[in-house]
Amino acid sequence: MTIRNPVEWVADQFGNTVHGLDAAGRSLNVTEEDRGLAPPAVRRIAVADVREALRAGIRDFAAYRTDVLFIGVVYPIAGLILARLMAGYDMLPLVFPLVSGFALLGPAAAAGLYEMSRRRERGEDAGWTDAFRVFSSPSIAGIAVLGCVLAAIFGLWLVAAMAIYGATLGPAMPQGLGSFAADVFTTPAGWALIVSGVGVGFLFAVLTLTVSVVSFPLLLDRRVRVTTAVLTSMRVVAENPVPMMVWGLIVAGGLALGALPLLLGLIVVVPVLGHATWHLYRKTVG
- pLDDT, one tens digit per residue, over 41-51 is 999 999 999 99
Q: Are 259 and 265 in contact (CB under 8 A)?
A: yes
pLDDT exceeds 60 at position 126: yes
pLDDT exceeds 70 at position 273: yes
Cα–Cα distance between 146 and 156 in angstroms, integer?
Answer: 15
Mean pLDDT of the chain: 80
pLDDT of residue 88: 60
List C-alpha distances in Å: 75 to 57, 91, 167.
18, 21, 31
**Residue 171 DSSP symbol:** S
pLDDT of residue 268: 82
Of 54-68, 147-161, 228-242, minimum mean pLDDT range:
54-68
pLDDT of residue 3: 45
8 confidence band (pLDDT: 50, 70, 90): low
Cα–Cα distance between 161 and 171 in angstroms, integer?
Answer: 12
Give the residue among 171, 178, 175, 177 at the shortest CA–CA distance from 193: 171
Cα–Cα distance between 243 and 237 in angstroms, integer?
Answer: 8
Cα–Cα distance between 131 and 114 in angstroms, integer?
Answer: 8
Q: Are 277 and 115 in contact (CB under 8 A)?
A: no
- How would you class 63 by CB atoms within 10 Å of its CB: exposed for 0-12, middle for 13-18, buried for 19 or more? middle
Determine the longest span between alpha carbons in the chain, in angstroms.
62
pLDDT exceeds 50 at position 110: yes
**Which tens digit of pLDDT belongs to each residue from 95-109?**
788 777 777 887 887
Percent pLDDT > 90 in the chain is 39
Of 84-93, 120-129, 154-163, 234-243, minimum mean pLDDT range:
84-93
pLDDT, mean of residues 10-24: 51
pLDDT of residue 68: 60
32 confidence band (pLDDT: 50, 70, 90): very low
Give the residue among 229, 97, 216, 254 at the shortest CA–CA distance from 162: 97
pLDDT of residue 165: 92
pLDDT of residue 107: 84
pLDDT, mean of residues 187-205: 92
Cα–Cα distance between 16 and 136 in angstroms, integer?
Answer: 28
Phi, psi of 38 (to 5 degrees): -70, 150
79 confidence band (pLDDT: 50, 70, 90): low
18 confidence band (pLDDT: 50, 70, 90): low
pLDDT exceeds 50 at position 272: yes
> Which own/partner pairs from 169-172 qualify as long-range (CB within 8 Å, at least 24 positions apart)?
169/93, 169/193, 170/93
Q: Give bridge partners of residue 285 from the DSSP assignment.
A: 42
Of 73-77, 90-94, 166-170, minimum mean pLDDT range:
73-77
